[in-house]
Amino acid sequence: MIPRHRFVFPHIGARPRVLVPVLMGQMARPAISIGDALATSPGGSGSVLGLVEIRAGRDNEVFAQDQRRRDMLRWVAGLEYPGDGRRRLSLSLRITANLASSIRDFAAENETTSLVLEWPTVSSARRHGLIDLSRQLLPDHRTDIVFVRSNPRAPHEAIAPRTILAAIRGGSSARVVASTASALADACGSALTLTHIQTDSQHPDRSRREWDSFEQIVAELHRPSANVRVHHHENAATGLLEEATGQDLVVIGSRLSPSKPDIPIGRELQRIVRRLECPVLLVRPKHLSPTGSTHGVASNGHGV
């Protein structure tokens, strides 16, 4: 019998402070909608940080910078989406030559707990800039990072799920995945499913540890209405694909490789995520070590 220990959930009892950095032209509405939902937690707050990039040459002139600032304000205003009056995100602008540095500074000044970023995909409007930005921010462990992969069929739409699936195996990401999914379910009024995928390929001792952790997570969430499922599959990634059928949002955890700390997800799981027809959140908790694992797949790639 594995002894049980008392765990304190991330963000529970704390006041979440959410930051959503955006570059003009990116597909920002899905990330903003998730940031807004997370900020509706009790005592929560958050900001959209519009980053106005300094360009070489004449664009450095004061008039040009003011024009770009106004352009950014108009663009963000165009990202408004229907809501229910609970919107919590304020708007700040910064003109910067170093995007990652400005985000770190703003996060430190505002005691940010969660950083919400667009997950770069092959169809992302600012793909290369977003990839470069996430690679610079991932090695930092001052905040949780939530990557938002929008709905492939409606990539510019806000995310307002009726159902949420949180895939929980074990490792450092498990509790933050669960608490993030639970906070979103509260904010959106969503039905929450907590699923544990077991595989026959891993050692029985590891399976027992992961199952014990999953039971504790379910108990400590105190959500009797949540649907709890255990799924047996030869492969965790493809098991996730089966469990995600019919869900409006899937929340998964990150895995870091010691040799590639700027890559949050393994190649096999990337392929599965590409096949999911709903939005996906990838959560990288700030305390995640480079050897921590949630899905047990190698980290060999970046975007999806």
Tokens of 14: 């704390």
The domain limits of the chain are 12-151, 161-304
The predicted structure's pLDDT at residue 12: 45
Q: What is the pLDDT of residues 74-86, one digit of tens each?
A: 999 888 765 555 5
Q: Are 252 and 283 in contact (CB under 8 A)?
A: yes
Q: Cα dist. 196→26, 173, 217, 220, 288 in Å?
A: 34, 13, 11, 16, 20
Whether the predicted pLDDT of 5 surpasses 80: no
Q: Give the residue-averaged pLDDT of 167-188.
A: 89
Q: Are 38 and 183 in contact (CB under 8 A)?
A: yes
Tokens of 156: 């510019």
Other beta carbons less than 10 A from residue 223's beta carbon: 17
The predicted structure's pLDDT at residue 78: 86
Give exposure, 133-165, as e/b (b: 16+ Cβ within 10 Å). bbbbbbeeeebbbbbbbbbbeebeebbbbebbb
Tokens of 252: 């998964």
Q: What is the pLDDT of residues 89-122, one digit of tens each?
A: 999 999 999 999 999 999 999 999 999 999 988 8
Residues, the chain, total?
Answer: 304
Q: What is the pLDDT of residues 152-173, one digit of tens each?
A: 999 999 999 999 999 987 767 8
The rounded distance, in Å, linking the Cα atoms of 95 and 144 is 24
The predicted structure's pLDDT at residue 8: 43
Just give the CATH number of 161-304. 3.40.50.620
Tokens of 250: 């899937």
In terms of CATH, what superfamily is 12-151? HUPs (3.40.50.620)
* Equal fold, 12-151 vs 161-304: yes
Residue with tokens 């649907």: 227
Q: What is the pTM of this model?
A: 0.86
Tokens of 231: 């799924």
